[in-house]
Structure 1
Amino acid sequence: MIDELDMLARFGGIAHLSVLEADGADRQRLQRLVVGGLLVRPRRGWYAVPNADPLLVRAAQLGGRVTCITALRKMGVWCVDDHRLHLAVASNTGHPPLRQDGLCIHYSRREPPISGPPVVSVLDALADQFRCQTGENVIVAIDSALNKGLIRRSDLNELRSRVPKKYWPLLDCVDGNCESGLETKVRLRLGRRGVRYRTQALIPGVGRVDILIGDRLIVETDGIEFHTGDAAIRDRDRDLLLHRLGYIVIRVTYAMVMYRWDEVESVITSYVSRREHRWSARHVRAGLA
């Protein structure tokens, strides 16, 4: 006998009746599970386990699908959270959800998927953010999706076909090497100032560093999840080794990148203007370069 509860678990805890029936579920058994409190119905045609993801449940209640940065964050993509539920709604829907605080509606001409939970694909979510987020944040999310293997570089052509031509220059700025959104933000801002850099540069005897400017100026980023402990100790030991090898290390936090970038940029451009980001003759004489 088909176990509808196990089936819901396979679909992430929430699914439409048409999907469940296609997989062998029985409508009457589903209804008995609702009466018994083992399932809930967020909206006509939808079934969910009581502890299903609240964002997905709310999306179903509102007649839409989770999209944009709300969906991207659920997929593990690095993006800035504006604490709203971003909801994709069919543009031809007869009953659109009322506009309300905490809700950002993306009207879409795309047909809703016939399977799975009420959340769009990663490409759809990336496309929806172009009209919603800043250019920098758009690139951050695409960089992250590339780096995590959620999309391929060939998918950028598909993205290009889904967004207005005025947004195409943003896709030309995508890198995919950066391992965090903070790295992407730093490289974009350095690029706008004309500062040349390399991302994930390999330093012999040390390993890869986030951003290398010139020959010896390194910028390392510590994300919002950064804490003290063994990881921090390893980072400091690595910084000490880099200093011993003649490198300059600037370690910046989430708050510094997000809210104090002017101060960080001033320090970096000061080093560059004094050409301290380059090996000098004295470094060569000291055997560092």
Structure 2
Amino acid sequence: MDIESFLRARAGVARTSAFRRAGCTRASLDKALAAGRIVRIRRGIYSLPREAGAYGVALDHNALLTCVSAAASYRLWTLHEPGAVHLSPGHKAAPPGTLTHGRCTHPPHPWLPVAGLADVLIHSLRCLPAVESLVMVQCAAQRGDITVEFLRRKLPGNRNARARAVLDCVIPRADSVLEVLANFHFRRAGLHVRRHVELPGVGEVDFLIEDCLVVETDGSSHLEPRQVRKDRKRNNATVIGGRLCLRFGYDDVVNHPERMVADVMAVLELCRRGAFDSR
């Protein structure tokens, strides 16, 4: 049995019982440990060197990773790396330097020390800023891993009103994190927004705002030369079709949303004043 491959397939960490079920002997474990190919986090828990990370913290304290610390385990969208490890330790006190969440009420991950997807998302909705929990829920919901209705039923009462408000912002389809965030900020600003609108000669655009302004959100792929040429043609076609177009990148949408919204509002105001009428 290739111990390192076994660990890599399990995010770099596993218990002795998992090795035994896979047919690994105590002698082979001891040999790998002596050679420095694996390390012992504590009795009965082994990891690849420097790869245990948050999983090691969870196993070491007999807890489950949850909230944003569990996002990678479920391949959920996130905006930032967690500054602290988010744990659900049950009745135990949280170890120093971690953030504690309540007990989990749904089945955990089948083999990782990670809370179940439902608990991960519920904890994120109660813990994180709205935009950070929104992208996690959006990712899971549009993949079909969970439904917004299910989460809403799990979040009753006044104390969960903020969490339910985030669920109201989940959209049927989003092609990127940027689209989710831009939609959130535009709607919060009170703008009339239509998504994925098909325009003659242009194709599908990300947003049509107030039926006159096209807004596109550009990820890293839009920096590639071929995509730049394609976007330039689409911009020209948009203007020829009688509409203006603004484009915003990752930094605009994620780090400076207030500036993005202000730019959109400024163009709309100029439109209302007739600044773009032909002379």
Q: Under TM normalisation by the shorter chain, which class is it?
A: 0.7 to 0.9
The equivalent residue for 1:135 is 130
| CA distance in 2 between partners of 1:114 and 1:185 (Å) | 28
The equivalent residue for 1:151 is 145
TM superposition shift of 1:3 = 4.6
| CA distance in 2 between partners of 1:126 and 1:209 (Å) | 30
Deviation sequence 1:127-157 (CA, Å, 0-9, x none): 221122122332232123334x1624xx223
Of 203, 207, 218, 1:211 maps to 207
Q: Does 1:266 align with 2:262?
A: yes
Cα gap change, 1:263 to 1:173, in 2 (>3 Å): closer
Cα gap change, 1:122 to 1:233, in 2 (>3 Å): farther
Deviation sequence 1:65-107 (CA, Å, 0-9, x none): 33222322454433221541333232223x6412x2xx43324
Cα gap change, 1:47 to 1:158, in 2 (>3 Å): farther
Give the aligned residue type for 2:48: V
Kindly report structure 1 stretches of 4+ aligned residues shifted beyond 6 Å.
none
TM superposition shift of 1:179 = 1.9
Mean Cα displacement is larger for which, 183-192 or 66-75?
A: 66-75
TM superposition shift of 1:175 = 0.8
The equivalent residue for 2:249 is 253
Compute the TM-score of the two structures, normalised by the length of structure 1.
0.78
Compute the TM-score of the two structures, normalised by the length of structure 2.
0.80
| CA distance in 2 between partners of 1:86 and 1:176 (Å) | 31
Percent identity among equivalent residues? 25
Q: Does 1:187 align with 2:183?
A: yes
Cα gap change, 1:219 to 1:4, in 2 (>3 Å): same
Contact 1:178 1:199 in 2 (8 A): no
Deviation sequence 1:171-222 (CA, Å, 0-9, x none): 2221141222222222122222321111222223433211111333111112
The equivalent residue for 1:286 is none
Q: How many residues are paired up?
A: 271
TM superposition shift of 1:249 = 0.8
The equivalent residue for 1:66 is 65
The equivalent residue for 1:97 is 95
Contact 1:34 1:41 in 2 (8 A): yes
Of 239, 244, 247, 2:235 maps to 239
| CA distance in 1 between partners of 2:229 and 2:109 (Å) | 49
Contact 2:65 2:88 in 1 (8 A): no
| CA distance in 2 between partners of 1:134 and 1:122 (Å) | 19
The equivalent residue for 1:287 is none
Mean Cα displacement is larger for which, 106-115 or 76-85?
A: 106-115
TM superposition shift of 1:48 = 1.9
| CA distance in 1 between partners of 2:101 and 2:265 (Å) | 40
